[in-house]
């Protein structure tokens, strides 16, 4: 199963809206005869690849798979049928598929066809691997990550607004790799106006994440790197109050627009989940970050901390008002990881309810 989980992880950031899945086939004597993983939506499922590689040697053998095989016709036929047709005798599964179209029905179908099914092997690891996919199916929202780069005294810019660069080159590459694991990267209008960011993984992901600007009243610059969609697509979400001339200008640029009734982070997250985003990255300023946190759109944060002192009474900080009135309301987040990145530290934390 560890090998199957490793195979699954090879497609990290490339399978949305689908989960990451890896599979192995052992023949009747226990020899490894096939391996597969799900590489992208629309491509064959992991089980199908592994069974194809095994061929006739799968008969009487064992399938090891990180997620319950599907039993419905999606873009590809049900995997349960392929497993049964291949004559597999035993199926070892890490976790049930939370997709309501499967949800135990795949395991039931395999058992009804006479296969022995063992469920729950390395379940925790499998759930961790597909945390974003599971979160989307449970909540109807993508898993939200929020990252910021700050000085050790908690500043994200100098008093004069300068912010390039607080963190070192290794940390900026780390952010590119982080984007490659996400389906969308979100900024507000303020960040677009101030930084004119590119927001790509710099080619670390074959299909770059969707770049999203959320800006209630628009007022976005006429020239911006995000308007050049030759390397990555851009979506602009705005409120009903957005002026008509700017809408037309964006349409003329070929930039996709999305009108949201309240133009709130939560509405955007629901829209992105419907587009199949499992995991999104907030790379926004303090007000939007605080709004996203207050609306439950952030499950993980990553603070990139540089060994510099910036100071500044009115200098920018990572988060605006969270409306906390007592220290007891500030629930502790749980450490997911602490790593060094050049001279910087990266502290990753999971939300209290996560």
Q: Which residues in 272-291 contact a copy of itself (CB under 8 A)?
A: 286, 290
The two tokens of residue 308 are 């510099």
Among 76, 139, 229, 317, which residue interacts with a copy of itself (rule: CB under 8 A)? 317
Q: Give the separation between CA 194 and CA 189, rounded to whole angstroms.
A: 9
Alpha-carbon torsion, ordered 339, 342, 344, 348, to 10 deg:
-30
- 153 near a copy of itself (CB under 8 A): yes
Identify the three-state secondary structure at position 272.
helix
Among 91, 132, 310, 346, which residue interacts with a copy of itself (rule: CB under 8 A)? 310
Q: Give the separation between CA 159 and CA 23, rounded to whole angstroms.
A: 53
Among 120, 324, 337, 339, which residue interacts with a copy of itself (rule: CB under 8 A)? 324
Q: Give the separation between CA 212 and CA 194, rounded to whole angstroms.
A: 16
Catalytic residue selected from 47, 96, 208, 267: 47
Q: Give the separation between CA 28 and CA 145, rounded to whole angstroms.
A: 44
CB of 287 to a copy of itself, least distance (A): 8
| Interface region with a copy of itself, contact rule CB under 8 A, candidates 57-65, 181-189, 276-284, 317-325 | 317-325
- 265 near a copy of itself (CB under 8 A): no
Strands 344-350 and 300-306: antiparallel
- 303 near a copy of itself (CB under 8 A): yes
- 322 near a copy of itself (CB under 8 A): yes
Q: List the one residue out of 89, 129, 134, 131 whose CA is nearest residue 110.
A: 89
The H-or-E segment that residue 347 falls in is: strand 344-350
Annotated catalytic residue 348: no
Strand runs labelled E in 221-278: 234-238, 256-259
Binding mask 158-197 for a copy of itself (x = CB under 8 A): xxx-xxxxx-------------------------------
Residues that bind a copy of itself (CB under 8 A): 148, 150-155, 158-160, 162-166, 286, 290, 293, 301, 303, 305-313, 317-327, 330-335, 338, 343, 345, 347, 349
Active-site residues: which are they?
A: 47
């Amino acid at each position: 199963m560890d090998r199957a989980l490793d195979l699954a992880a090879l497609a990290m950031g490339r399978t949305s809206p689908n989960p990451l899945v890896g599979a192995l086939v052992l023949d009747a004597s226990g020899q490894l005869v096939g391996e597969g993983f799900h590489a992208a939506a629309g491509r064959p499922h992991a089980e199908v690849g592994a069974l194809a590689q095994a061929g006739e040697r799968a008969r009487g053998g064992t399938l090891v798979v990180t997620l319950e095989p599907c039993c419905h016709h999606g873009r590809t036929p049900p995997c349960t049928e392929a497993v049964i047709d291949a004559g597999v005798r035993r199926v070892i599964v890490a976790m049930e598929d939370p997709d309501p179209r499967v949800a135990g029905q795949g395991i039931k179908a395999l058992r009804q066809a006479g296969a022995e099914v063992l469920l729950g092997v390395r379940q925790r690891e499998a759930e961790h691997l597909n945390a974003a996919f599971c979160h989307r199916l449970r909540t109807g929202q993508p898993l939200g990550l929020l990252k910021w780069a700050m000085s050790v005294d908690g500043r994200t810019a100098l008093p004069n607004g300068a912010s390039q660069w607080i963190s070192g080159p290794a940390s900026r590459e780390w952010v590119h790799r982080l984007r490659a694991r996400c389906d969308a990267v979100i900024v507000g209008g303020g960040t677009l106006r101030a930084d004119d960011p590119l927001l790509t993984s710099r080619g670390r992901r074959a299909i770059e994440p969707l770049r999203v600007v959320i800006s209630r009243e628009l007022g976005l610059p006429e020239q911006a790197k995000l308007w050049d969609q030759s390397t990555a697509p851009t979506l602009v979400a705005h409120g009903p109050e957005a002026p008509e001339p700017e809408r037309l200008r964006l349409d003329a640029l070929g930039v996709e627009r999305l009108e949201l009734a309240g133009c709130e982070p939560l509405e955007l997250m629901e829209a992105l989940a419907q587009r199949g985003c499992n995991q999104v990255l907030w790379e926004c300023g303090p007000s939007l970050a605080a709004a996203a946190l207050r609306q439950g759109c952030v499950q993980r944060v990553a603070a990139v901390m540089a060994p510099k002192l910036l100071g500044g009474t009115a200098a920018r900080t990572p988060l605006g008002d969270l409306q906390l009135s007592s220290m007891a309301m500030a629930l502790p987040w749980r450490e997911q990881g602490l790593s060094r990145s050049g001279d910087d530290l990266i502290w990753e934390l999971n939300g209290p309810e996560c």
